[in-house]
Structure 1
Amino acid sequence: MSLLLEALRQRAQHLPERLALKDSEQHITYAELPRHIAEKAAQLQSSQCRVIAIQLDNSADWVLWDLATVAAGVVCVPLPAFFTQQQRDHVIHSAGIDHIVTAEGLVASGLTQTVDLLPGTTKITFTSGTTGTPKGVCLSQQGLEQVAQSLVEVIGAEHAADHLAILPLAILLENVAGVYSALLAGATCHLYSLASIGMGNPFQPDFRQLVQSLVQHRISSAILVPELLRGLTYTLMQTGVKLPDLKFLAVGGSKVAPKLLWQAQTVGLPVYEGYGLSECASVVALNTPTSVLDGTVGKVLPHIEISCVDGEILIHNPAFLGYLGASHRGVFATGDLGYLDDDGFLHLLGRKKNLLITAFGRNVSPEWVESTLLGQPEIAQAVVFGDAQPYLTALLVPSSPLADLNAAVQRSNERLPDYARLQVFHPIAPLRLTDGTLTGTGRPRREAIAQQYHHLLCEGK
């Protein structure tokens, strides 16, 4: 029995008139929700679906189809809009997707060949990671719901009265940490098309439109990645708009510069940094209103057990069953460097595989230096290199054509020890998902970037 579906049945009895899902066309109460789920589940069963992909814009229908797969015992594969056609084809074939939900409804994919999935798989989330070929992470419903339940426990249901899905629902962070948690808390999920809230182009958002949506719908909770937090913060600085209804704003997906968090807090944003992995069904640790420590990603969720060995964070009970074609049991090595302090807060230091060892034998996490650089308002994006080199080099994207990068680098260097300071930097064009230099969550693809800017990084060698 699904914990989430059972909770929704109880909500239907105790909070029948409260809105559960709301978009520009549908307003669905908790009393109506089970019927809508059952109708779509019946469609899945009558079509003899085994594995479906959801290829929709954010909407109430996206969530209804997702919940219907749970009710019908069908495997769900969220399909991100930012995947290329080649990546979509790879997902369809590798997961054995036989039906796809599009704006036209439930349609056959044309694929007749089945794929043996890991037992217990209810959702497969594909992450492009550090290569162009998406990798399928197989998750159980229990694992997904455990994360959502823990988030409600540590955050408190009172902060989720009205949740706005700003990230695509195909992203696990929004799907599970956002919607599932909000529904377990009895909140209203606002699920408007991404274009209507200013997120039609996620890499060139209309932040004024996003602010207007937050104000208009009196949103109390949302989830952002760091670059969206940066844009929202600067828009509030410029406009002077306040968001008094906003009670909880989670930020994750990649490292957040401490200065950005401070700037967000100065304009009244109740922002809390967290850390997660697809293999752990989104969130691993999170700062909360009752337990927060700046410079950390918060305390580990109550259902998760971790340890740190040789500086690497290990998860002893990850939510995932394995990758497509390869089961997983036991401890999961995250590849992230960090440690737990005496009070239980998790500190992140960077990626193990990204660790730079300079020609002087000093270990430097590039994320550490990049975080300091991104704390300077003149710098929008930064990627640091220097493995086996006597000094560090950075590729910097200025925040404006008039940005003084020299002054920004100087201030950044003042906060770093000698061995971690930049000696060389090069201004470059913005890094984008479309040119293969960013992942879907905004992390830099270091190998692709190094290849593209090889001529700059080799200067002086």
Structure 2
Amino acid sequence: MREYSVPVLVDVPASANLTDTVFRRAEEEPGAVALRRKVGDDWAAVTAREFRDQVAEVAKGLIAAGVEPGDRVALMSRTRYEWTVIDYAIWAAGAVSVPIYESSSADQVSWIISDSGAKAVFVELDSNEETVREGISELPGLKDVWRIEGGALDELTALGAEVGDDTLAERRAGRGIADLATIVYTSGTTGRPKGCRLTHDNLLFTARNVAHGPLERLFTVDDRAALLFLPLAHVFARIIEIVLIETGTVLAHTPNMKNVGPDLQAFKPTFLLGVPRVFEKVYNAAEQKATADGKGKIFHAAAETAIAWSRAESTGGAGLGLRLKHALFDRLVYGKLRAATGGRLTAAVSGGSALGERLGHFFRGVGIEVLEGWGLTETSAPSSVNLPGANKIGTVGKPFPGVTIGIGEHGEVLVKGRHVFEGYWNNDEATAVAIDKDGWFHTGDVGELDGDGYLRITGRQKEILVTAAGKNVAPAPMEDHIRAHPLISQAMVVGDDRPFVAALITLDTEALEQWKAANGRTDADLAALSSDPAIVAEVQKAVDNANKFVSRAEQIKKFTVLDVDISEESGHLTPTLKVKRAVVMRDFAKQVESLYG
């Protein structure tokens, strides 16, 4: 078996836990800005001492409310300042946090709370509380529901006023790296979500070895700051939250994806975390704006130049002519794109699914290096990541310190390291399948390691299609190329046990507004546009482009444009925007059949 290891860089003592840095920094740098929270249009500073004090007050409230060491406390909210306070307060009280996506259904919430045995739950809004209470009759172990927008933090602060500092210190000291820190439920693209048991060691070991190893440069720049907008219920954003606290990087949150653009310009982060769909939307929005302003040709030339310049940088550097073109477009186009992110952003990390070489080269050519990483909930998020200055675009980087990656039977990617979870909560059978007798975690992803130890993910075992002719087809790369078109929202390749490969495609409703205005179709609805010859022709261009990158047997022969978009709200995407293939196949079975009729 081919494998690649990177030695441990930072050890974590047995007595350590996730709250240590919060309490230590409050004593060593009490006036240092730890976070910023949005108050109106301003970003108010929260010092290290103020953050510690609020964490301590809420933790004391939890203790007073009867939360015992090891108890599970659920947290259902969008990404916001209070999430981070509550997360650390749960740990300071010696308890275990159980994050829940705020978009979860009543059935999903009921399952996670009942399966985890949560004693209490924090919710953000009235609607979240209604969702919880809808299934509360089936949750006899749930004692308390605290609403953030209803003054939960103040309520708990008052409740814990009589709890002494010694009691809190005893609770914190009672938790070490071997203790359970959180149960993170998988997003559930198939079946019921499984709870991943992650310890303080899993999270601290990962955060410290990533922050002081491959990504150290991102967290040592002057006035370093990061804006989080991905859901903190997902382990990817959660581990970055911990990295930012551990490194003293100023952390801010924005709960609404629609506010990301204005918040980037106002907050001016040096570091950003995203998923591929976010970077696709940035590219597509820039392309649309340029086209609407009559500068589409300039933008396309600038994009091609950025990609060519980045590719040249990977193979020895650009020639004089390309450098001159790149410098020209830097003044005309790239500088404006950087300004749209606040003007200080030079690097970002992407994960959750494949970014694709096209976007990676484009953003590096623009001056914002997107470092692609890879991992799963079961590996505390990252197992590998590209490095600033050593970014091999098209790969997901090398293992981070303390991690071994191997390629097993049929190309499956296997992982070892202290970041690998203990197992699934209440599911020993699934744990035995996931972790073999030699300690390898079987990821289900398919990939390859190159001679330098860089990992390339080529597909997912469960998503590999096998046509009726026996041809194995990895859908993700083709879907990435199709989604590059600004009018397209999602693409799902089908063809398992079928005579040829086909695709279901949806349109981007935001992008369509500009297209409708430019083409005199302002009254047309999505159903009409899905069959509009001009739109279908644009989709055909995207499909033809995707077909250039695969063999004839893998090419998409037919497609259909759905008259609805698929989204998280419709139940077809996970909160990290991954397509739930089984759900799409079920709900659009007629459309699939029509492709082969």
TM-score under structure 1 length normalisation: 0.89
**Which has the larger Rg?**
2
Tell me by how many angstroms 1:457 deviates. 1.8
Higher relative contact order (CA 8 A, sep 6+): 2
Aligned length: 443
* Counterpart in the other structure of 2:169: none
Q: Contact 1:144–1:319 at 8 Å: present in 2 too?
A: no
- Residues 1:6 and 2:15 aligned together: no
* Counterpart in the other structure of 1:419: 553
Tell me by how many angstroms 1:377 deviates. 4.1
* Counterpart in the other structure of 2:180: 121
CA distance in 2, matches of 1:104, 1:432: 22
- Residues 1:436 and 2:571 aligned together: yes
Q: Contact 2:353–2:578 at 8 Å: present in 1 too?
A: yes
2:492 aligned to which of 380, 383, 403: 383
Tell me by how many angstroms 1:338 deviates. 0.3
* Counterpart in the other structure of 1:324: 425
CA distance in 2, matches of 1:36, 1:45: 14
* Counterpart in the other structure of 2:267: 217
Structure 1 segments unaligned to the other structure (5+ residues): 200-205
1:72 aligned to which of 60, 79, 93: 93
2:106 aligned to which of 78, 85, 90: 85
Tell me by how many angstroms 1:335 deviates. 0.5
- Residues 1:454 and 2:504 aligned together: no
Q: Contact 1:257–1:375 at 8 Å: present in 2 too?
A: no
1:397 aligned to which of 491, 495, 506: 506
CA distance in 1, matches of 2:393, 2:253: 31
Tell me: CA distance 1:374–1:236, structure 2 relative to 1, closer, same or farther (3 Å): closer
* Counterpart in the other structure of 1:40: 58
Tell me by how many angstroms 1:135 deviates. 2.0
Q: Contact 2:62–2:93 at 8 Å: present in 1 too?
A: yes
Tell me: CA distance 1:234–1:378, structure 2 relative to 1, closer, same or farther (3 Å): closer
* Counterpart in the other structure of 2:383: 284
2:236 aligned to which of 154, 173, 179: 173
Q: Contact 2:77–2:124 at 8 Å: present in 1 too?
A: yes
CA distance in 2, matches of 1:113, 1:213: 40
Tell me by how many angstroms 1:424 deviates. 0.8
* Counterpart in the other structure of 1:18: 32
The alignment yields a C-alpha RMSD, in angstroms, of: 2.4
CA distance in 2, matches of 1:316, 1:186: 29
Tell me: CA distance 1:250–1:55, structure 2 relative to 1, closer, same or farther (3 Å): same
Q: Contact 1:226–1:251 at 8 Å: present in 2 too?
A: yes
CA distance in 2, matches of 1:232, 1:138: 35
1:348 aligned to which of 447, 450, 457: 457
Tell me by how many angstroms 1:407 deviates. 1.6
Q: Contact 2:466–2:496 at 8 Å: present in 1 too?
A: yes
CA distance in 2, matches of 1:319, 1:28: 33
Secondary structure in structure 1 of the residue aligned to 2:403: coil
Tell me by how many angstroms 1:266 deviates. 4.2
Tell me by how many angstroms 1:259 deviates. 1.8
CA distance in 2, matches of 1:250, 1:104: 30
Tell me by how many angstroms 1:89 deviates. 1.1
TM-score under structure 2 length normalisation: 0.70
Percent of aligned positions that are identical: 27
Greater helix proportion: 2
Q: Contact 1:335–1:352 at 8 Å: present in 2 too?
A: yes
Tell me by how many angstroms 1:349 deviates. 0.5
**Which residues of 2 match residues 191-202 of structure 1 at below 5 A?**
191-192=253-254, 194-195=255-256, 199=257
CA distance in 2, matches of 1:4, 1:232: 34
**Which residues of 2 match residues 228-307 of structure 1 at below 5 A?**
228-237=278-287, 238=289, 240-241=336-337, 242=339, 243=341, 244-307=343-406
- Residues 1:339 and 2:448 aligned together: yes
CA distance in 2, matches of 1:158, 1:236: 30
> Which letter does structure 1 place at the counterpart of 2:276?
P
CA distance in 2, matches of 1:370, 1:454: 19
* Counterpart in the other structure of 2:46: 28
CA distance in 1, matches of 2:507, 2:56: 51
Tell me by how many angstroms 1:378 deviates. 4.5
